[in-house]
A and B are shown apart, each in its own frame.
Chain A
Amino acid sequence: MCGELAFVFYMEAFLSSLVSVAFHGVAYGMILYVISVGLSVTMGLMGFTNLAHGVFAMAGGYVLVTALSQWDVPFPLALLLAFVLVALASVVLERLLYSRLYGAVELEQVLLTIGLIFMSVAVARLIFGTLQQPVVLPEYLKGQFSLLGRDFPAYRVFLILFSASIIATLWFGVERTIWGAKVRAAVDNRAMAQSIGINTRRLFAITFAVGSGLAGLGGALGAEIVAIQPTYPFEQLVYFLIVVSVGGLGSLRGPFVAALLIGITDTACKYWLPQFGAFFIYIATIGLLLWRPSGLFGKRT
């Protein structure tokens, strides 16, 4: 009898921790996805190895904190600003620098984008200093959200819902619109797409801007969790690359599954086996890539 009670109690505790692991894992995975999806598209579509993708995420984070603390902009507008400003800036970079290396070998692209990271780190340090930036959340996103006797941080609930709506929009855009059809066509066969009259140059610029803007938005959304400070593009790079390589280049679904997988397994491992801390994620990545070298949903073989 007593043993049974203890077992029920144990199961209840286990289920409840399962819920929180899933919740935190999904929240973290969502941020990873929103930031990384642009990278998957640029690498898959344009064949451009853009290691400086995290720079756009960091820029989005800085736009958000500056908008909130200096310009007194309300939170939703600050998020929008992070998307728009980063997207615009990325178009300038794309025209000035990236477009010159579209046909180049990967090593040259890596050198250019690594150089961009170094420069961005120095610039961020010059403007904002070395300390991490505080995010002042509006009152309605603070505190706890209670459901079924368990508390969930309100901001993370918002994060999941908001990211889900972005992802739905993106999905619709790629799967159901003409623009999406063109992007998919260009990913599958760039030469053929070009020969049937798709302006791939303009398509690239727009797609690049959307991808970078999403990174900016992801950086802004995640600023409360993943600290915004000058070395951000270096420190987070490995996570973005894991999402993209595990998910597979050029797909939308792949990185989504990969991001959730990484978010949830990373969280679960930290929760139940904290002594193995953060390195489980790397073992999982190696295992997955040995099993499927081109990622879960990779198009290239």
Chain B
Amino acid sequence: MKFNASICAGLVATLISVATPAFSQTIKIGFISSYSGAAAAQGDQLDKGVKLYMKLNGDKLPPGVKVELITRDDTGPNPDVAKRVAQELIVREKVQFLTGVVWTPNMAAIAPLTTEAKVPFVSMNAAGARIMNNAPYMARVSFTLWQSAYPLGQWAAKKYKRAYTAVSDFAPGHEAEEGFIKGFKEGGGEIVGSLRVPLANPDFVPFMQRIKDAKPEVVFGFNPAGKAATGMMKAYADLDLAKAGIKYIGTGDIVTDDELPNMGDVALGVTTVHHYSANSDRPANKAFVAAYKKEYGENLNPSFIAVGAWDGMDAIFHAIREQGGKVDPDKTMEALKKWRNPNSPRGMVSIDPETRDVINPEYLREVRKVGGRLANVELETISTGLKDPMKEADKKK
């Protein structure tokens, strides 16, 4: 009898241990980032944000559900490569989510695939606003250019009368230019000139010289985070536009938290509007920055790109949880539309159910020295939940 009971107990135990894996499920997430090429620095931030989130939040999935990250390199702003790897992830790997993507042109190339294959896509960085209009399986947690450029234009119009715009010559640059000019003109300002600089360009001084000679009061800049932004900043310093009484303002992309230490004191006083600063003292951000530095080294600052990656994974985990681990594309999109994260490092962030685009907090910041290091100090909260002003403007048309 005793013998039988122990056999019974053993059998039950075996059954349980066999049964658990039977319920368990692995969800495949295709993650596309830029690991090589000129944009490897940005891709690296994206990768770090995703992996940090997965490491610290693995327990936030339903019991028995695991996620598998399948990583692909799009080698920078190369839409053809991005499309190819996305296709491979969908067809061969049969991923249930696509995410990542630093570059807008790459996201645009992937858009038709997500619609055709019904694979939900979460943009962690690429910001081009109109891509998602015709891509019902795309959602975004990063930002749009108008969210920072438009309020910055409104703010600048209160202080300056004559502005010059200088943006990188690709879709997000055009959007930033458009947004700033609209905000600035509505506030009564005058645009004395606009120029677009090539994405790949060794020397930015000639452009800055042109701006200097036009004698505006303020230059609005947007370049994709990275060396173009630093190059423009250096050209601004080389020609000493500050001494000529010309102020430099822009979206947060021109003074990212990871590049800022490399720019030097020239960046001091640069005013930007953006949704994230590593220097912010919100408790959620302090915890995030501490975890990031603990994982990747004391001298590395997370930038808004790492935060986009972090929140992107949070949105995906949320969608998996809402469906109890059995994911379906349409239900995933419904869940993503309801995603909100009050504890994001950037503050309260959510997805607008109507447009599937992000609703961001926006802050006015200035580059100052904090404890001997350059930092984006948040001066003012411009909005606690700003929908993409471009889509709002499009609606009125």
A binds B: yes
Residues of A near any B CB (own CB < 8 A): 13, 16-17, 20-21, 24, 28, 121, 125, 129-134, 136, 143-144, 151, 153, 155-156, 224-227, 229-231, 235-236, 239, 266-268, 270-272, 274-275, 277-279
Question: Which residues of chain B have C-beta atoms less than 8 A from A272's C-beta?
Answer: 210
Minimum CB–CB distance for A271 against chain B, Å: 4
Cα A20 to Cα B200 in complex, Å, equals: 23
- Say yes or no for B73: interface residue by CB 8 A criterion: no
Q: Are B238 and A267 in contact (CB under 8 A)?
A: no
Q: Are B37 and A227 in contact (CB under 8 A)?
A: no
- Say yes or no for B209: interface residue by CB 8 A criterion: yes
Q: Are A21 and B206 in contact (CB under 8 A)?
A: yes
**A-B contacts at CB below 8 angstroms, number:** 103
Q: Are B41 and A130 in contact (CB under 8 A)?
A: yes
Q: A132-B227, A151-B240 are in contact. List 4 more A-B contacts (CB 8 A).
A: A134-B263, A143-B240, A227-B230, A229-B38
CB-based nearest A residue for B169? A277
CB pairs A–B below 8 angstroms (17 shown):
A17-B213, A24-B206, A130-B41, A134-B262, A143-B240, A151-B240, A153-B240, A225-B202, A225-B234, A226-B202, A226-B203, A229-B227, A271-B206, A271-B207, A271-B209, A274-B195, A278-B201
Q: Are A125 and B201 in contact (CB under 8 A)?
A: no
Most A C-beta atoms less than 10 A away, residue of B196, B197, B210, B258? B210
Q: Which of B202, B231, B258 contacts A236 (CB 8 A)?
A: B202
- Say yes or no for B108: interface residue by CB 8 A criterion: no
Given contact pairs A13-B213, A229-B227, A231-B38, A277 touches B203 in the complex (Cβ within 8 A): no
Minimum CB–CB distance for A184 against chain B, Å: 32
Q: Are A153 and B239 in contact (CB under 8 A)?
A: yes
CB-based nearest B residue for A156? B238
Question: Which residues of chain B have C-beta atoms less than 8 A from A17's C-beta?
Answer: 209, 213
Q: Are B213 and A131 in contact (CB under 8 A)?
A: no
Within 8 A of A (CB), among B60-97: none
Cα A153 to Cα B226 in complex, Å, equals: 23
Question: Which residues of chain A have C-beta atoms less than 8 A from B210's C-beta?
Answer: 270-272, 274
CB-based nearest B residue for A24? B205
Q: Are B263 and A151 in contact (CB under 8 A)?
A: no
- Say yes or no for B396: interface residue by CB 8 A criterion: no
Q: How many residues from B make CB contacts under 8 Å with A?
A: 36
- Say yes or no for B198: interface residue by CB 8 A criterion: yes
Q: Are A224 and B38 in contact (CB under 8 A)?
A: no
- Say yes or no for B44: interface residue by CB 8 A criterion: yes
Question: Which residues of chain A have C-beta atoms less than 8 A from B243's C-beta?
Answer: 144, 151
Within 8 A of A (CB), among B243-263: 243, 258-259, 261-263
- Say yes or no for B283: interface residue by CB 8 A criterion: no
Q: Are A278 and B200 in contact (CB under 8 A)?
A: yes
- Say yes or no for B188: interface residue by CB 8 A criterion: no
Given contact pairs A21-B206, A151-B240, A274-B210, A132 touches B37 in the complex (Cβ within 8 A): no
Q: Are B209 and A24 in contact (CB under 8 A)?
A: yes
Minimum CB–CB distance for B218 against chain A, Å: 18
Cα A129 to Cα B40 in complex, Å, equals: 9
Q: Are A225 and B203 in contact (CB under 8 A)?
A: yes
- Say yes or no for B10: interface residue by CB 8 A criterion: no
Within 8 A of A (CB), among B232-285: 234, 238-240, 243, 258-259, 261-264
Question: Which residues of chain B have C-beta atoms less than 8 A from A266's C-beta?
Answer: 203, 206
Cα A89 to Cα B230 in complex, Å, equals: 30
Cα A151 to Cα B182 in complex, Å, equals: 33
Cα A156 to Cα B226 in complex, Å, equals: 23
Q: Are A239 and B169 in contact (CB under 8 A)?
A: no
Q: Are B207 and A274 in contact (CB under 8 A)?
A: yes
Q: Which of A143, A236, A267 contacts B206 (CB 8 A)?
A: A267
Minimum CB–CB distance for A166 against chain B, Å: 20
CB-based nearest A residue for B258? A131
CB-based nearest B residue for A276? B198
Within 8 A of A (CB), among B162-187: 169
Question: Which residues of chain B have C-beta atoms less than 8 A from A277's C-beta?
Answer: 169, 196-198, 201
Question: Which residues of chain A have C-beta atoms less than 8 A from B40's C-beta?
Answer: 125, 130, 230-231
Given contact pairs A231-B38, A274-B197, A275-B195, A267 touches B203 in the complex (Cβ within 8 A): yes
CB-based nearest B residue for A155? B238
Question: Which residues of chain B have C-beta atoms less than 8 A from A230's C-beta?
Answer: 40
Given contact pairs A151-B240, A275-B195, A239 touches B202 in the complex (Cβ within 8 A): yes
Minimum CB–CB distance for B314 against chain A, Å: 25
Cα A272 to Cα B209 in complex, Å, equals: 10
Q: Are B206 and A224 in contact (CB under 8 A)?
A: no
Minimum CB–CB distance for A228 against chain B, Å: 10
CB-based nearest B residue for A272? B210
Given contact pairs A130-B40, A229-B227, A274-B195, A235 touches B207 in the complex (Cβ within 8 A): no
Q: Which of A16, A132, A151, A271 contacts B262 (CB 8 A)?
A: A132
Cα A278 to Cα B201 in complex, Å, equals: 7
Q: Which of B201, B209, B231, B263 contacts A20 (CB 8 A)?
A: B209
Q: Are B203 and A24 in contact (CB under 8 A)?
A: yes
Question: Which residues of chain A have C-beta atoms less than 8 A from B198's C-beta?
Answer: 277-279
Question: Which residues of chain B have C-beta atoms less than 8 A from A21's C-beta?
Answer: 206, 209
CB-based nearest A residue for B231? A227
Cα A143 to Cα B40 in complex, Å, equals: 32
Q: Are A131 and B262 in contact (CB under 8 A)?
A: yes
Question: Which residues of chain A have C-beta atoms less than 8 A from B209's C-beta?
Answer: 17, 20-21, 24, 271
Question: Which residues of chain A have C-beta atoms less than 8 A from B227's C-beta?
Answer: 132, 227, 229
Given contact pairs A226-B202, A227-B227, A277-B169, A134 touches B239 in the complex (Cβ within 8 A): no
Most B C-beta atoms less than 10 A away, residue of A17, A130, A227? A130
Cα A17 to Cα B230 in complex, Å, equals: 24
Question: Which residues of chain B have C-beta atoms less than 8 A from A275's C-beta?
Answer: 195-196
Cα A39 to Cα B52 in complex, Å, equals: 45
Cα A114 to Cα B268 in complex, Å, equals: 41
Question: Which residues of chain A have C-beta atoms less than 8 A from B226's C-beta?
Answer: 132
Minimum CB–CB distance for A143 against chain B, Å: 7
Cα A231 to Cα B35 in complex, Å, equals: 12
Cα A182 to Cα B258 in complex, Å, equals: 51
Cα A88 to Cα B300 in complex, Å, equals: 34
Given contact pairs A24-B203, A24-B206, A274 touches B239 in the complex (Cβ within 8 A): no
CB-based nearest B residue for A154? B238
CB-based nearest A residue for B261? A134
